[in-house]
Amino acid sequence: MNSVSAGPELELRVARAAMLYDASRMDQPGFAAFEREYWRGRGALEEVAGGRGTVAFVHDAGRRWVLRHYRRGGLVARFLDDTYLYTGAARTRAHAEFRLLRRLREWGLPVPVPIAARYVRAGLVYRADLITEELPTRLTLARALAAGPLEPATWRAVGRCIAGLHGRGVQHADLNAHNLLLGAGGEVYVLDFDRGRIRARGAWEDRVLERLHRSLAKVTGGLPAGRCGDAEWRLLLEGVAGGK
């Protein structure tokens, strides 16, 4: 993927809320853009079950956007759901991911284009949302494996994609079979950089791969043999090694 020059990053503040947006991709910024009801009223909203709730797609006047509301996972979600401790605007989940995605796109990495991010404060906590441009595919690695075995070239392409991230020191916090997407032409994309960061290369790269390996074992556990065994994993690692 070629590098993409982002437009100016601008900020809009209202009371205890703030949003960042790419001025080249959002010409009329407003907080309504993060609300599903706004797009539903325009007949532009498509909601699909997945992840920690539903994924919202917006198709309106040439826009093809994805709306994501930040929610917690695991046991803590029972108590905190979608709230996070506010420790400064730059450290909110949405603003941090927005800026990380902008950098990754400048480097030509296969990640979504960030459109806008916002947080809304309530006392000591905040809630947050992110808008990204929809990628050319919705086919996750998990869904592809459920449909049938993958070609060796696909496994190697997944490995090369991961190597491209690690080569730039990009640590994905939760790389799994649901946030790797496969394109029709052999492309591989990566989603969900919440809590991702850029750091010096090191042992964390192996931990990212181990997490992905566990995810693949989980999603293929009840499927026929040949979906993701030792041979397929070796192909992926060949791609990682070849992409360094």
By the 8 A CB rule, do 204 and 186 touch?
A: no
Our measurement of the distance from residue 80's CA atom to the centroid of its chain's CA atoms, rounded to an integer in Å, reads 22
Q: Is 174 a catalytic residue?
A: yes
What is d(CA 149, CA 217) in angstroms, rounded to the nearest whole number?
A: 14
- Is residue 56 within 8 A of residue 67, CB to CB? The reply is yes
Closest of 47, 70, 49 to residue 58, by C-alpha = 47
Q: Which of 81, 82, 129, 174 is catalytic?
A: 174
End-to-end CA distance of the chain: 16
Residues in the chain: 244
Asked if residues 112 and 68 have their Cβ atoms less than 8 Å apart, the reply is no
The rounded distance, in Å, linking the Cα atoms of 197 and 171 is: 5
Contact between residue 66 and residue 115 where contact means Cβ atoms under 8 Å apart? no
Query: Rounded to whole angstroms, what are the CA distances from 173 to 26, 134, 209, 211?
Result: 28, 21, 11, 9
Residues with a catalytic annotation lie at 174
